[in-house]
Amino acid sequence: MNHTVRILTVLGMVGCLGFGVAACSKEEPRKPIISDTGRPETRSVEAANAIGYNGTAMRKKLDKALDANDGQTQKMNQAADQ
């Protein structure tokens, strides 16, 4: 019986050591989530996700508004050049 207790103790120690090594192993670095769609100047708007807003929807609306403004500016510049 003494021999069985020693074997179980050693196995328990080896098991704990194995779990410790597995828990302390180096974790793979996480890939940053970067949305490549939209305008680069509006990327920071997506940070609103962190406080509970839908930053992606906000960014899309802002991109749409900026694109419409750029289109209107281009039309005005073309009219002024004629």
Predicted confidence (pLDDT) per residue in 13-67, tens digit: 776 666 666 666 677 777 666 655 678 888 888 888 888 999 889 999 999 999 9
- Tell me the CA end-to-end span of the chain in Å, nearest whole number: 103
Position 28 scores a pLDDT of: 72
Q: CA 45, 49, 51: angle at the middle one, nearest 5?
A: 105
Burial 24-38 (b: 16+ CB within 10 A, else e): eeeeeeeeeeeeeeb
23/7: higher pLDDT: 7
Nearest to 66 by CA among 42, 35, 36, 37: 42
Predicted confidence band of residue 12 (pLDDT cuts 50, 70, 90): confident
| Residues whose CB falls within 8 Å of the CB of residue 60, separated by 6 or more in sequence, listed in order | 38
| Residues whose CB falls within 8 Å of the CB of residue 47, separated by 6 or more in sequence, listed in order | 55
